Every structure is written in structure tokens, then in C-alpha cells.
Amino acid sequence: MTLSYRQPGAVLTDRVFTVPLDHDRPGGETIEVYGREVVHPGKAGEDLPWLVYLEGGPGCKARRFVGAQAWLERALKDYRVLLLDQRGTGRSTPADRQTLALRGGPREQADYLAHFRADAIVRDCELIRRELTGGAPWSVLGQSFGGFCAVHYLSAAPEGLAEVLITGGLPSLDASADDVYRAGYPRVARKVAAHYARYPQDVDRARAIAAHLVEHGPVTLNGGYRLGVEAFQSLGMMLGTGDGSHRLHYLLENAFVRTPHGPAFSDTFQEEVQTALSFAARPLYAVLHEAIYAQGGQATAWAAERVRAEFPQFDAEKALADGAPLLFTGESIHPWMFGADPALAPLRETADLLAARTDWPDRLYAPEVLARNEVPVAAVVYHDDMYVDTAHSLETARAIRGLRTWVTDEYEHDGVRAGGTRVLDRALGLVRGEL
């Protein structure tokens, strides 16, 4: 039984699909995947084409819009939209510290989570598509990691696609996790420099916070997160979004209060840091983050942690000793996070096993299939995107036959959300040959 309800400018219907955990064993264990159907109230009875939205991540549920917000307003003019909670997220069968314990120990948990990458997500989509469309191809909008899934979709099941729209999510077809992070640290350094140019007062504020953590050691925040200097640096993940620099600035200005025992982190600062850094709402983002790059039988082996050593400018204690600005870090997952975050701590051994895993498929993408692609594809590439390397994206754009790009510096990685209807409208114009 499906349930429909209304929000401003939208009729929504809850849908739950049963899919195999392992698509190579269709008669084996199953899990549920949830999707929220959204349609314009005036078109609810029409036979509209479907657009499935694949959220970023990994491990992030589809965005919870209130009515026809952001890009959804534009999409509802033409489509019946399916906001998919990819496996393990949102209202799909959950995978987190509470539920994974049901699988057994770390080995069983790691084996289970190996089925939660882009290849499995695309096979879920194909089962769902046939159920909803009766076999007709549908359109896909992939944001960030959702774009990675879309490129795999073009490689593995192009017959299921009417058109593909990608925003901030064109992956390298062959880069290892090491390659991804080696390209990433210099981009992060540029974002930090731009932040300090905008807010020069934050240079001293960030140094003062880091110095306090170095002198006194990690602090257990009111919410249980253990904040050390590396964790503080990881707040730089905020700098890749349109308003992230401003939000980081406001977070830093409330760091300290005077107490009878000397300066201490304010409750306001602690709450905001805990909210920004905890993976309680999206644990798979941390556990599977490097695994999304794994192919060719190579272990990721905590790539971000290893590659960071090649960039000594990110060493906080060295920066403090040299009188240099503290560099924040960006979208990278490190072993210490599984000791700092109570939501991740029970999953540390599981994450270690995934980092050591070598039995990944030989490849996630098929260059020979992409080279003869016939599906209309448009990709929005953000100039100097902090999360996805622009050079990697443009190389992939050239490898996909017929793909059209819009390269822009008007938006950061979240442009499709922050830009209202404009980004999706531009992408649709490209994919339809109107621009």
C-alpha cells in the first residue's frame, strides 16, 4: 500500500522496493530501498517521464525538501521525480553502528558493506525502473557521488537511460584513491587561502583554537565527540559549499569563554563543532568513503591519511611553531575519526577491513562503452571544485561520447541546491540541445 500526501507545490508518495543484497544472488537475502515520489499537484494524474535523483555521499539520504524547493521546482515542470534513499541510508534498510551489529563481527559487517557501492546502487535502480516505468528508460540526476553512480550507470546499463544530468560528479575513470587525494590537498589549500583572504581575523582565531588543543590535548565535547587538533582542522570540509566559508567564520568567532579555570571552549562552539563533525546521521559516508574509488583489486589502505604526509604544510604543530596560518583539511576520512566520533567508534575494525580489502571489481567504469555512448548527457563542472577534481572531471567529459559540459565559477559544489532552478535549467538545456 502506498501513501500520498501534499506539501506546498507537490504531491508526495512513499514507495518501498525490495532488492537483493547481492544482485549476483537474486534468490538470497533482500533489503529495502525507499523512494519518495514527487509530482506537481496539477500533473498528478498525467503519464509523465520519470527522473530519479541520486544524492551525493556516499551514505547520504536524498534531501528532504519541503514542497517544490530548489531544483525540484524546475524538475516538476517536466517529470515525476523519485528521490531515492540509496541502500543503507534514510528510510532504506539502515546500515549503522546500531544495525550492523546484527550482522556479526567486523568481518561480516565489512562483507555486508561491500555491497553498498555505486555498482549495487545502479542495479537497484534498474530493478526499480522496471517496476515503475514498465521497462521504459528514465532520466537520472546525479549530484556529486550520485554523478559517480550515473557514470557507472552509463557504463553498465545505458539501455535504462533516457538522459543523464550530472552536477559536480564526474569522476576520474581510472584514478586510485591515492590519486584523488594527491590532487585534493592542493585544492583544499587554495580554499583555505581564499577563506583567510575573506576573513583575515580568522587566521588568529584558528591558530588560538589549535594552540589550545595542542597545549591541553583533545577535549571531549558536551556531545561526546573527542576534539583534537586534526579533528578541528577537518572543519575545512565546510569550505567546499557556497556558504561554507561564512558558516566557518561564524563558528570560529564563538570559540572561547572565560571560566574560573581559565579559557574554555564555549557551549555554543562545542555544539556547533559536534554537529559539523559527527557522522551519526551518515556513518556510511565515513565507512565507505575511500571504497567508492576502489577498483582493480587494489586496497585503499587509508589513502587520505597516507597522502597527507606528502603535504607537511597541513601539520598543525609545525604551522604554530613557524607562525604560519593553520590549514584546514577537506573531504577526507582518517582512522582517528573512528576514535573521535562515538557514532563511528564501534565500526573501526570494520573500516580497517574495508580499507585492506582487495577483492573489488576490476573496474567501476567502462571506457569503451562510454566512448560509443548514445545517451544524451550533460554535466555541470564547478571551477576548482573542492570535492571533485576539475581536471579529472574534464578528462572524463572528453571520454564520454556526446557529453556536454557547463564549466562555471558562479557556484561551489552545492550549486544545484544553492542555485535555485538555474543550474538544473541550464543542464536540461544542454542535454536537450537547446543551448
Structure-derived torsion over alpha carbons of residues 176, 333, 152, 372, reported in degrees to the nearest 10 = -40
How far is residue 52's CA from residue 425's CA, in Å, rounded to a whole number? Answer: 16
**415 SS3 class:** helix
How far is residue 392's CA from residue 377's CA, in Å, rounded to a whole number? Answer: 17
**End-to-end alpha carbon distance in the chain:** 42
Alpha helices in 168-253 (DSSP H): 177-198, 201-216, 229-233, 244-252
Backbone angles phi, psi at 263, to 5 degrees: -60, 140
Catalytic residue (one of 195, 234, 413, 414): 413
How far is residue 180's CA from residue 171's CA, in Å, rounded to a whole number? Answer: 9
Q: Are 84 and 52 within 8 A, CB to CB? A: yes
427 sits in which H/E element: helix 422-431
C-alpha cell at 158: 545505458
Contacts of 113 (CB under 8 A, 6+ apart): 88, 95, 100, 284, 287, 288, 291, 350, 354
Cis peptide before 361 (omega within 30 of 0): no
Amino acid at site 411: Y
Q: Is 413 a catalytic residue?
A: yes
DSSP 8-state secondary structure symbol assigned to residue 88:
B
Q: Are 300 and 294 within 8 A, CB to CB? A: yes
106-113 helix and 348-356 helix, angle to the nearest 10 degrees: 60
Contacts of 134 (CB under 8 A, 6+ apart): none
Contacts of 336 (CB under 8 A, 6+ apart): 228, 230, 231
Catalytic residue (one of 92, 144, 245, 332): 144
Q: Which residues pair with 161 in a beta bridge?
A: 138
* Chain-centre distance for alpha carbon 261: 41
Q: Is 96 a catalytic residue?
A: no
Catalytic residue (one of 24, 47, 359, 362): 359
DSSP 8-state secondary structure symbol assigned to residue 309:
T
- The single residue listed with the C-alpha cell 613557524 is 322
* Chain-centre distance for alpha carbon 392: 17
- Give me the active site residues, please: 144, 359, 413
